[in-house]
Amino acid sequence: MNEPSFARIAGVFFKIGATSFGGGVVAYLRGAIVEQEKWLDDDGFLRVLELSQTLPGLNAVNVAVLTGDELRGWRGAAVAATSLLVPGLALVTLLSFLWGSLQGSAWVTTALAGAAAAAVGLIVATTIQIGRRQLTDPLDLALVVATAVAVGGFGVDLGWVVLGVGGLSILLHRPGSGRRSSERASSRVTPA
């Protein structure tokens, strides 16, 4: 792969920042980074996404930083993150000035509800695209379903669910647990 120019990195991440929002941005990031630009493959994107979720801050910004760093070092990271953030910053600044006169409007409420639904759909699509490679063990699938049901169905606070299900996941997949998660993970990788 040839090294992309800083202008190309800026253009791709600016477009993502200008056309995506909320949790759905991960779908746009994957589409641009993996499918369109082919800067990373699915395994590389999943690695970057997993690492971004362990870092403080927004996942999308962390993915931009890590991808930019892989492509062009710290300068690529700075260009990617800045380009991703500028459109949203400009839009939020503009909307903050307009909010006082628009907050009771029925079309604004409807537009926000539609945007939320679109974001959920994008998250589900990305989860299916990435999850089909990672969630091959029935126990792992059961943990995902348990998390969704606890939070979405019963309204259990996400913090408690993460502590409970996360703790159980760590216990089940720790080295020496007999689950042999490292062998399962290596069997998922297909030869090139």
Among residues 112, 134, 156, the one where a domain terminates is 134
For 104, list phi and psi in degrees, rounded to 5: -95, 0
For 51, list phi and psi in degrees, rounded to 5: -65, -40
3-state secondary structure the chain: CCCCCHHHHHHHHHHHHHHCCHHHHHHHHHHHHHHHCCCCCHHHHHHHHHHHHHCCCCHHHHHHHHHHHHHHHHHHHHHHHHHHHHHHHHHHHHHHHHHHHHCCCHHHHHHHHHHHHHHHHHHHHHHHHHHHHHCCCHHHHHHHHHHHHHHHHCCCCHHHHHHHHHHHHHHHHCCCCCCCHHHHHHHHCCCC
Task: Kindly state whether residues 147 and 71 are assigned to the same domain.
Answer: no
Tens digit of pLDDT for each residue in 138-178? 888 888 889 989 999 999 998 999 899 988 988 888 887 77
Task: Kindly state whether residues 121 and 167 are assigned to the same domain.
Answer: no
In this prediction, residue 11 carries a pLDDT of: 97
In this prediction, residue 175 carries a pLDDT of: 81
Task: Kindly state whether residues 174 and 159 are assigned to the same domain.
Answer: yes
Domain that holds residue 30: 1-134
Task: Kindly state whether residues 30 and 76 are assigned to the same domain.
Answer: yes
Task: Kindly state whether residues 169 and 89 are assigned to the same domain.
Answer: no
Task: Kindly state whether residues 37 and 97 are assigned to the same domain.
Answer: yes
Find the largest Cα–Cα distance for the chain.
Answer: 60
Counting as low any pLDDT under 50, the low residues of the chain are 181-192
**143's tokens:** 């943990």
In this prediction, residue 179 carries a pLDDT of: 63
**164's tokens:** 């409970």
Domain count, the chain: 2
Task: Kindly state whether residues 150 and 125 are assigned to the same domain.
Answer: no
In this prediction, residue 63 carries a pLDDT of: 96
Task: Kindly state whether residues 33 and 97 are assigned to the same domain.
Answer: yes
Task: Kindly state whether residues 103 and 181 are assigned to the same domain.
Answer: no
Among residues 86, 109, 134, the one where a domain terminates is 134
Task: Kindly state whether residues 60 and 111 are assigned to the same domain.
Answer: yes
Task: Kindly state whether residues 45 and 111 are assigned to the same domain.
Answer: yes
**Burial label, 175 (beta-carbon count in 10 A; 0-12, 13-18, 19+):** exposed
Task: Look up residue 152 and give its amino acid.
Answer: G
Task: Kindly state whether residues 62 and 86 are assigned to the same domain.
Answer: yes
In this prediction, residue 2 carries a pLDDT of: 76
In this prediction, residue 187 carries a pLDDT of: 44
In this prediction, residue 174 carries a pLDDT of: 82
Among residues 93, 109, 134, the one where a domain terminates is 134
